[in-house]
Structure 1
Amino acid sequence: MTMTMIKPPAVEPVTLAEVRQFLRLDNDSEDVLLGGLIKAARETLEMQTGLALISQEWRLYPDSWPKNGIVRIAKYPVRSVVAVTAYIEDGTPVPIAGDDLHLSGYARPARLYLAARSRPALPLSGLEIDFVAGFGETGADVPEALRHAISTLVAHWYEFRGVYGSAQQPVSYPSAFERAVGLWRRVSL
């Protein structure tokens, strides 16, 4: 399975003002740096946990049509399915009706059930699923522990930015970040 982000989050889960307050900075002279660190910290957290913090749109390309009709979606939480498109042998797209879909978006992994009657003729790589994942539209919708983890990682990177070269980064993660991420990391066998 392959997933591609179609629409990134409109905002970050932690604002520049919140990070400046966390770092006890009184001016905005390093806002460009801090903005980059916030984005990098969010991306790191999302990559390590499989979470989508702020609403973002993704496209999933399953390798094949699921035998039991259930597609597992590794992002969490999945809020809605935007579109499901099947492709027949000549490459013609066929939209699958909403009546043929059932989403269990807050399960982890999320599960999308596709009714058997919607099955296309093309068995391999003939399916695209567009969905929205994330806790909500603003940072206020994101669990506080995850927002704190981002602020902690930003502070760590801000403080140690000149100690090690870029080839040696990241040297470490702060333990508060590791603990918060560990609570949300999905481990499977």
Structure 2
Amino acid sequence: MTAVVTVAPAREPVTLADAHAHLRLSHTHEDALLERLITAARTEVERLTGRALITQSWRQYIDEMPAERIIRLPVAPIRQVDALTLFASDGTAHVLPPERYVTDLASNPARLRVRAGLEPPRRELNGIEVDMTAGYGDQPADVPAGLRTAILMLMGFWYERRSLVEDGAISGFLPHGFAGALSPYKVLKI
């Protein structure tokens, strides 16, 4: 199983003003750096938690239908399943109508179950594609405060430690307490 972002989030869950306030910066000559650090920190928070923060589109590729016909979705929160596509050996795509599967978006991880009676895909690899929309919403305020705080923690840590060497030793990449701040938000791996 492989999952990729097909449409990236349109904005970040932490604004430049949030970063300035967190770092107590009054100048703007490093704003380009701050924006890159915010994006990098959001990406790391999403990777570590298995969550999409701001609305984005994903595609999951699966080789064959699981025996129980339950497909676990790779990211949370899932707002909706946009399409479930099965591929024949000749590459012909068959988009299943929503009444042919049922979704459980409240589970951790979210999942869908394909109703019985469907022909399994015949293409050997990536015979199933699931397109979905994930994220808490379109605005920074839609993202839980704990996740936004974790982004600020990490962005600030990286901003203050631009070199990997501190006091003659290689420093860590994550601030103290960061893993604990993320733990309530992690998607379970099954």
TM-score, shorter chain, exceeding 0.5: yes
Is 2:67 the partner of 1:67?
Answer: yes
Aligned length: 187
Is 2:185 the partner of 1:173?
Answer: no
CA distance in 1, matches of 2:181, 2:30: 26
Contact 2:79 2:133 in 1 (8 A): yes
Higher helix share: 1
| CA distance 1:154–1:121, shift in 2 (3 Å) | closer
Contact 2:154 2:174 in 1 (8 A): yes
Contact 1:14 1:38 in 2 (8 A): yes
Provide, for residues 100-151 of structure 1, a one-character-per-residue CA deviation record: whole Å limited to 9, x for no partner: 1211112111111111233344164311110011111111111101100100
SS at match of 2:172: coil
CA distance in 2, matches of 1:105, 1:56: 16
| CA distance 1:169–1:153, shift in 2 (3 Å) | farther
Quote how far apart the aligned CAs of 1:170 are: 7.2
CA distance in 2, matches of 1:138, 1:110: 22
CA distance in 1, matches of 2:171, 2:109: 28
| CA distance 1:87–1:139, shift in 2 (3 Å) | same
CA distance in 2, matches of 1:10, 1:169: 35
Q: How does 1:46-125 map to 2 (within 5 A)?
A: 46-122=46-122, 124=124, 125=126
- Which amino acid letter does the alignment assign opposite residue 160 of structure 1? R
The CA RMSD measured in Å over matched residues stands at 2.0
- Which amino acid letter does the alignment assign opposite residue 29 of structure 1? H
Contact 2:79 2:132 in 1 (8 A): yes
CA distance in 2, matches of 1:176, 1:146: 13
Quote how far apart the aligned CAs of 1:38 are: 0.3
| Matching residue of 1:151 | 152
Quote how far apart the aligned CAs of 1:163 are: 5.4
Structure 2: 5+ residue stretches without partners: none
Quote how far apart the aligned CAs of 1:160 are: 0.9
| CA distance 1:187–1:120, shift in 2 (3 Å) | closer
Provide, for residues 62-81 of structure 1, a one-character-per-residue CA deviation record: whole Å limited to 9, x for no partner: 12112222100120111101
| Matching residue of 1:37 | 37
CA distance in 2, matches of 1:101, 1:107: 16
CA distance in 2, matches of 1:170, 1:138: 34
CA distance in 1, matches of 2:60, 2:36: 27
Q: TM-score when scaled to structure 1?
A: 0.91
Provide, for residues 41-65 of structure 1, a one-character-per-residue CA deviation record: whole Å limited to 9, x for no partner: 0111111111111111010011211
Q: How does 1:127-146 map to 2 (within 5 A)?
A: 127-146=128-147
Q: TM-score when scaled to structure 2?
A: 0.90
Contact 1:65 1:123 in 2 (8 A): no
Structure 1: 5+ residue stretches without partners: none
Quote how far apart the aligned CAs of 1:33 are: 0.2
| CA distance 1:122–1:15, shift in 2 (3 Å) | same
